[in-house]
Chains A and B, each alone.
Chain A
Amino acid sequence: MTGMPALLSMHGVSKRYGKVQANAEIDLTVEAGSIHAVLGENGAGKSTLMKLIYGVETPDAGQIAWNGTPVVLNSPGEAQKLGIGMVFQHFSLFETLSVVQNVSLLVPGTRAELSARIRELGATFGLSVDPDAMVHTLSVGERQRVEIIRCLLLEPKLLILDEPTSVLPPQSVALLFETLRSLQAKGMAILFISHKLGEVRELCDTATILRAGRVTARVDPRDHDKSELARMMIGREIPKISADTTHRVAEDRLVLNHLSLPSQTRFGTTLHDISLSVKSGQIVGIAGISGNGQAELAAAISGEVPVADAGAITLMGKPAGRLSAGARRRLGFAFIPEERLGRGAVPRMSLADNTLLTAHGTGLVRRGFIRRAAERALTGRVIEEFDVRTAGPDVEAGNLSGGNLQKFMLGREIMLAPKVMLVAQPTWGVDIGAATAIRRRLLSMRDQGTAILVISEELEELFEICDLLHVLHAGHLSGPRDPHVTTAAQIGTLMTGASEGDAA
């Protein structure tokens, strides 16, 4: 613009993994002081592009220049030295270490200094987190705060954020945007990867749109409305969710009856006297900010943590509080956890074997032997029906992008035709096309009579699909609310713990 070279420029960059051309002749220019969006569907090549910029992977062809000087980035260490920081979507934290220990692996300084700076940044940017907490006790939202803080402590010139808002409550998103704008004002460039078109339009001054590994457009997102941006991204109109209100609500499938559960870990949340019911043909949503008991509630319902009072949880009318996770599944329960890798799927196992993990009761095992053909056939059906972008059933689960893995896990559970399903953060980190597909799936399952409980931090999503809404805050659950007569602001107030006059 002023003859100054761009902070980062990429020209003709390509990267191929086996048969998949992940990036093809990408041109990308990021100016200092710009907030630049990278938009694209799952598998469009966003993550690959970020890995090339951050030195995790090296391009097969093309040039990368930093301040006009060609550079070859062979490792994240080299990228960090240039001043590139990255907040990952699959977090890059060590679970057995504390927050401050995680930070100290990247940022020089003594423990006391770093703890003070973590608290200070947390206070400034609304990213508060206990420096001495062990990471494995933190919620997804809290872990992201740690990631962002760790990056900011390195004072990067270019900050890459991969789906940063997907786990933040609305208030924190606003705070994060303030943070990012103040960083921008200091001259920092930000690469913002998000599927939330509204946020991109609000925050970013430039957007590079990827489809199938190629750049399809480079626009100022403020000049285009959401549906135009979405069309550039997915190459067609976004399918609308048809709101069917005629579905029949019948018997109780999942009932929580004054469920209380003391915290299992030092930093966990204790659940207090939680009651709700999910009927067949009903989607019930639980709103709230991560770390308010979501993980504990999911663990109690799924059977990961048994409850002393067997009657506190009934599944299909049977007391299930003391049943194991497997026994609950045999009653027709299915669970899609928030942590896709590690809890929802085994990263190093193939998709076929991951299918077997929950579908072993459906004839995939005969006399103790795995029927490989049937296992592969079922996996193939999941991949096809749920539009999982992958080379096939033999690909390791860990190689799938977040959204694709989510589609796979959802498909795997739906294939079991569950009677009750618990889904945590169903569209976390999933782009608009896939998210819409997932929500439509949930609605059609409901219409076929499945009882569905959704735990989500995305209010918009809950309002879109739920028949009833609860809010979880500090281990307490609010009474049910009808989303058709409740505003997002009212729910938001409950999410922050204000009592609003009726705790119901």
Chain B
Amino acid sequence: MSIIAFLLAGTLAAALPLLLAALGEMVVEKTGLLNLGIEGMMAIGAAVAFILVFQTGSHSLGFAGGAVAGLVLSMVFAFLVITLKVNEVAAGLALSVLGLGLSALFGKSFESLTVSGLPRLGLPGLSQIPLVGPTLLTQDILVWLAIPFTVALGYVLTRTKPGLVIQAVGENASVARSIGYNVAAIRFAAVGFGGAMAGLGGAYASTVYTPLWADGMIAGRGWIALALVVFGTWKTGRIAFGALLFGVLSLGELMAQATGVNLPSQLLTSLPYVVTILMLVVISRRKGPLAA
């Protein structure tokens, strides 16, 4: 497989865990909260999904389980921060540590086991196109669903009443409360959405993208998702762009390692993270056409 074909085929899948988690966190942050627990929620989602898929063979069950696991963990954050008014930074960091610890515990007896990935579906009629047909246009079901979902989420947040309410709550919660909105409920819902999305992203990473359980497999994607949201300036299009960039770079890094580029592997591994953030910093500093 040529380099181009490899990148075309794999980028979307490599980007997906990050994209899902970042979109979830974007909604959380738009309501005026900051959940630093994405890494933990992705990890627990990954572990629960892997175990379910390993035991039952059902990917649907794995995705659902991963999303529910992320949601449940996020409710701990919501309860601490919204109900008990605990400092959100401390609560979020605790959530990351907790999620990573639980995922290691659950996954301990599954270390290095594998499951089968998802079948890749070509777009009818289009998958015959040379080069892009069998690569870019042949993806698994979650990738196909994620594309319209991303567009729809961007539309809802910028063009509809629920999006307006979320923005209003994020701008001034006490005003939102004074004109009759249940701010706590809206924030609970947003945090839950963020948790489910992070859990789903983790599930995809452990059962489809690299269908093998290894402790620590989320490898900082949660933190990158957090950076994507900020440097993507809370805009769906920019966040999607950042996720794709990360996807391309992480594949490029794999290839570079495989072909034996003469650079320390630690440097190569860090490259996607560094370059993605740099690119987003540049974009966020000027008004680009990427805004969605």
Contacts and interface: CB of A to CB of B under 8 A. Distances in A.
A97 B168 contact: yes
Given A94-B171, A94-B172, A95-B171, A88 B164 contact: no
Interface stretch (B133-141, B174-182, B206-214): B174-182
Interface string B148-174: 000000000000010011011001100
B286 to A, nearest CB: 20
A56 B174 CA distance: 10
Contacts of B176: 94, 105
B172 to A, nearest CB: 6
Given A93-B175, A94-B171, A94-B175, A75 B182 contact: yes
Nearest to B169: A94
A104 B167 CA distance: 13
Interface in A93-127: 93-97, 101, 104-106
Contacts of A83: none
Contacts of B165: 105
B180 A106 contact: yes
Contacts of A77: 180-182
A106 B179 CA distance: 7
B178 A88 contact: yes
Interface string A74-93: 01110110000000100011
A92 B168 contact: no
A93 B175 CA distance: 7
A80 B180 contact: yes
A106 B181 CA distance: 9
Interface in B181-237: 181-182
Of listed A92, A105, A106, residue having the most chain B CB within 10 A: A105
A88 B175 CA distance: 10
Interface residues of B, number: 15
A105 B164 CA distance: 7
Dominant secondary structure at the B interface: helix
Contact of A92 (B161, B164, B167, B175): B175
Interface in A27-82: 54, 56, 75-77, 79-80
Nearest to A78: B180
A105 B178 contact: no
Contacts of B161: 104-105
B29 to A, nearest CB: 14
A95 B180 CA distance: 17
A198 B62 CA distance: 71
A97 B182 contact: no
A54 B181 CA distance: 13
Contacts of A101: 164
A105 B178 CA distance: 12
A56 B178 contact: yes
B292 to A, nearest CB: 17
Of listed B171, B172, B175, B176, residue having the most chain A CB within 10 A: B175
Of listed B161, B178, B180, residue having the most chain A CB within 10 A: B180
Contacts of B180: 75-77, 79-80, 106
Nearest to B165: A105
Nearest to A91: B175
Contacts of A106: 179-180
B160 to A, nearest CB: 10
B116 to A, nearest CB: 48
A459 to B, nearest CB: 31
A101 B175 CA distance: 14
A76 B168 CA distance: 16
B164 A104 contact: yes
Contacts of B164: 97, 101, 104-105
B171 A76 contact: no
Contacts of A76: 177-180
A104 B160 CA distance: 10
A92 B177 CA distance: 9
A92 B179 CA distance: 7
Contacts of B172: 94-95
A105 B179 contact: yes
28 contacts: A54-B178, A75-B177, A75-B180, A76-B177, A76-B180, A77-B181, A77-B182, A79-B180, A80-B180, A92-B175, A92-B178, A92-B179, A93-B175, A94-B167, A94-B168, A94-B176, A95-B172, A97-B164, A97-B167, A97-B168, A97-B171, A101-B164, A104-B164, A105-B164, A105-B165, A105-B181, A106-B179, A106-B180
Given A76-B178, A92-B179, 5 more contacts: A77-B182, A94-B176, A97-B164, A97-B171, A105-B165
Interface of A: 54, 56, 75-77, 79-80, 88, 92-97, 101, 104-106
Interface of B: 161, 164-165, 167-168, 171-172, 175-182
The 4 closest A-B pairs by CB, nearest first: A77-B180, A76-B180, A92-B175, A92-B178
